[in-house]
């Protein structure tokens, strides 16, 4: 029985090593560029949803060759960096080109609104997590933003 378990373990670790080895073989480097088209969309969405954010402090980048499963990511400039560099809070919305660019216009807006929902109303540089229960439910906040944009788009 012990021998059987040991052989099973050895096979499992070999499989695990193979997976890791394949992941490290990719020689592609992640590249970033400014995404001015996304910044225009962000400005439009902030205006339509009436969010109290300063668009000058939200930057967008498009990345290539990323292995992430996400369509987009948001990065916040923490309080320590703000104080040491003497700058106001900033946010970066990173668009993963391979996944995001193939989406429809409406789905792109939903993804961008999802990322904007991570920004707290006091615009402090921190990020809001995905809370699943209670008044601060993240999904309901995103759904509310999407409804507001659709309503304001029609009028």
Domains identified in the chain and CATH numbers: 28-154 (3.30.2010.10)
User: What is the gyration radius of the CA atoms in the chain, in angstroms?
Assistant: 21
Query: Is the sign of the CA dihedral 151, 123, 52, 132 positive or negative?
Result: positive
The pair of structure tokens assigned to 141 is 């906040």
What's the pLDDT band for 96 if we cut at 50, 70, 90?
Answer: very high
pLDDT for the residue numbered 64: 94
Nearest 10 degrees: Cα torsion 145, 147, 150, 151? -110
Question: Are 91 and 58 contacting, i.e. CB atoms less than 8 angstroms apart?
Answer: yes
Q: What is the pTM of this model?
A: 0.79
Above 80 in pLDDT, residue 5?
no
pLDDT for the residue numbered 71: 95
**In the structure, how many helices (H) and strands (E) does the chain have?**
6, 4
Strand, coil or helix: 61: strand
């Amino acid at each position: 029985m012990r021998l059987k378990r040991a052989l099973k373990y050895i096979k499992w670790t070999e499989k695990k090593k193979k997976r890791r080895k394949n992941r490290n073989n990719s020689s592609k480097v992640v590249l970033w560029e400014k995404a001015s088209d996304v910044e225009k969309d962000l400005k439009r969405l902030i205006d339509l949803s009436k969010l109290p954010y300063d668009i000058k402090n939200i930057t967008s980048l498009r990345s290539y060759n990323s292995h992430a499963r996400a369509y987009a990511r948001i990065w916040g400039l923490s309080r320590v960096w703000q104080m040491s560099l003497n700058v106001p809070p900033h946010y970066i919305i990173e668009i993963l080109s391979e996944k995001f660019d193939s989406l429809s216009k409406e789905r792109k807006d939903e993804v961008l609104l999802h990322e904007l929902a991570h920004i707290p109303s006091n615009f402090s540089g921190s990020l809001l997590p995905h809370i699943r229960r209670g008044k601060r439910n993240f999904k309901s906040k995103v759904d509310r933003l999407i409804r507001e944009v659709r309503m304001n788009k029609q009028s």
